[in-house]
Amino acid sequence: MILTGMIVAALVAVYVLTALWQGYRLGVTFQQAVLYLPLKLVFRISDGRIRIARQADAPVIYAISHQSRLDPALMLALLPDDTLHILDEESATSSWLEPFRTLARTISFNASHVFVSRRLVRHLKGKGRLAVYFPQTVEPDPKSFRLFRAVARIAVTAGADIVAIHVGGSRHLPMSLAPEAEAPRRWLPKLTIAALEPISLDSSIVRPGRAPTTSSNALFDRVAEARVAASVPRSLFAAVSGAARLYGPERTVVEDGLTGPLSYRDMLIAARVLGARFASVSSGGEAVGLMLPNSVGLVTSFVGLQSAGCVATMINYTAGPANVTAAIRSGAVRIVVSSRAFVDKAQLADIVAAIEGAGARFLWLEDVRPSVTAFEKASAALLWRWPVTPVKPSAPGAILFTSGSDSRPKGVVLTHENLLSNTAQIEARIVFTPADTLLNVLPAFHSYGLTGGTILPLVYGVRLYLYPSPLHFKQIPETAAKVKPTITFATDTFLSAYARTADDGDFASLRLVVAGAEPLQAETRRIWRERFGADIVEGYGLTEASPVVALNTRTHSRQGSVGRLLPGIRSRIEPVDGIEDGGRLWISGPNVMRGYISTRGAENVTPPPDGWHDTGDVVAFDREGYLTIRGRARRFAKIAGEMVSLGAVELLVQRLWPEERHAAVAVPDRKRGEKVVVLTTNTAAEKSELRAFGKASGVAELIVPDTIITVDAIPLLGSGKVDYVTARRIAMESLGIDKTT
């Protein structure tokens, strides 16, 4: 008995001393530390940033994303004990939370407490602290969003700062507030508490580096930023491997029409086998080319390159031999992973010759498969959770080349952190769940197809169906009818083409259609809404931003805009001569590239100056922060000293002839410096009709082009964007203008 008593006393002493240490470390009371310590040990909580919240000067509102029933317990144990917590009715009465509720004042959440706000304003003006728990969904409905408006009004009236807090990982606890179909449960996930610096909503509305917005939107954005900040930095392989553990190794994650479905475990086993082979023929951190269509083979090869610690260099096999040669040389690529069957079917003999001529050799997947030994398979089956060569999140993960729609493609180096930050930013705006199936037709050599169409579903447990080419306008609707996807990403050009060949029921399963890479035409939006019952969400991005910068969502959407900036992205507008309504957009954020390849290889880059990237786009923000693209800075013509947006010209022509495709380019003109030429597929196009429509629309006379050229098809890049370099060449040849002009 004496020995037992001594052991118990020793354990109690250790517990008390540890609690005292935790109290000193975090600045909490002894009672708080005693109750917090078991949670700290069980969930291995990363809590270093909670000091930011505790040290915030009153008056302050803690804006907490309420993911699980555990969140109030953590906040009661960690926030200053003079904080008034507004709890939901279950948390306010739950018996297991009773010890935690003794740590601070609490009131039960209901409409009268939240929306009749004078009591809360008085509390804050008296140098008080308030903890408010916001809905866990990233797309709150209008009723739920009322809470953001109410709290924003209280904060502005009381002059209170906002500290946004998010408990990363609690969404997957057994006591999660999210439906289990959307958030698979784990008993002991590691939790990370993210707390952002205090900021007033008045300054948030016009704070440097952000677009102007309303106070409620500023509060909503701050909560979303905390969600992104809770993401733990990791490599691409670690993110996919972690998703396998979270969503289940046997869960089907990727599928195509030839290979069939593959589970996380099987995909990672195949990636481990390939990763070992890739590592044996390359050096650490080397850029290795990947030239494959959308397929299971592409995914296993990409993840295999990440396992090997290689930098996946995505080869745009539609860019032509000259551009591919330049890509191989600038990336210092010695090895290109590809498939003979694909090369033969796609008739890429000239691309193969260009790659070999640039000094690279091919590693054919057909040669790897039969040579895999039983030992390699067994080893991969045991070690599939771990990479062959671990890398840091800050290391280069992929090299992509810009579309080259109006200039020569540039090599963009994106780190693991860049790519995963962008997936987290997107996931903080749009709901993705394991119940979704994503149909991806966009090639992985395009950043939209790689991040949104490949990496994001792998990381968030979305079932991914890959289709090899976006140009199969008839087969893709038929595939959608069989696969029944809930999400798809595409460009306006492709969406318009699919609608022309699809039956009304082919896309009936879709709940989310995201359009990017080029402006979404009103006619495309109308057709998809009327025929398929699908509202298209338009976004904006660029390769250098991994790629998504702004996005419309169910909660925040404005037709004609590309939405609001994603969480964590800062912006500034620089004036452009001749343009009053808008300016040149610069951006900064965790998703902005490491830099352009400047000499040879992924380690030799030209980084953005001070982390700021010049997008080259002329844009405007409205008072609520919605972004409208006026056009590329290069996509303006200077006519008699006046700046004319070629994008605005295209929109005018598209409104007149919505069933056809058009492209506006600028060519030299002796009298006025430049003139605008429209290429159109409308064989009946008449200048007089366009002139009359422009006058009736009230646009400036300069906007209406006086030269129209009819073509069989508008030249496109492999990504679906208009190839303006080729379009301009066609216009100049048609008009007999010297190409050197």
* Rg (the chain; Cα; Å): 28
Residue from 297, 240, 272, 265 nearest 376 by CA:
272
616: left (phi over 0), alpha (psi -120 to 50) or beta: left
CA 683, 689, 691: angle at the middle one, nearest 5? 125
Question: Strands of 605-606's sheet, edge to edge?
Answer: 361-364, 335-338, 287-291, 311-314, 396-401, 411-415, 595-597, 605-606
Number of residues that this document lists for the chain = 741
Q: Token pair for residue 169?
A: 């990982």
d(CA 431, CA 426): 9
Which tokens go with 244? Answer: 């396998």
Contact 298, 292 (CB under 8 A): yes
Cβ atoms 26, 33 nearer than 8 A: yes
CB 171 within 8 A of CB 126: no
Q: What are phi and psi of 631, to 5 degrees?
A: 145, 170
Least Cα distance to 540 among 596, 620, 464, 660 occurs for: 620
Residues 476 and 484 sit within 8 Å (Cβ to Cβ): no
With beta carbons less than 8 A apart as the criterion, state whether 493 and 516 touch.
no
Q: Respond yes or no: is residue 66 known to be catalytic.
A: yes
The owner of tokens 């069939």 is 260
Residue pair 155/163 in contact by the 8 Å Cβ criterion: no
**Bridging pattern class, strands 252-256 and 463-466:** parallel
Closest CA to 87 of 103, 66, 67, 102: 66
SS3 642: strand
Among residues 445, 446, 438, the alpha carbon closest in space to that of 489 is found at 438
User: Cβ(73)–Cβ(104) under 8 Å?
Assistant: no
Pairing of strands 627-632, 613-621: antiparallel
Cα 412 to its chain centre, rounded Å, is 17
Instruction: Measure the CA–CA gap between 160 and 58, rounded to whole angstroms.
Output: 7
Cβ 540 vs Cβ 601: under 8 Å: no
Question: For residue 593, which of 404, 417, 341, 740 has the smallest C-alpha distance?
Answer: 417
Q: Active-site positions?
A: 66
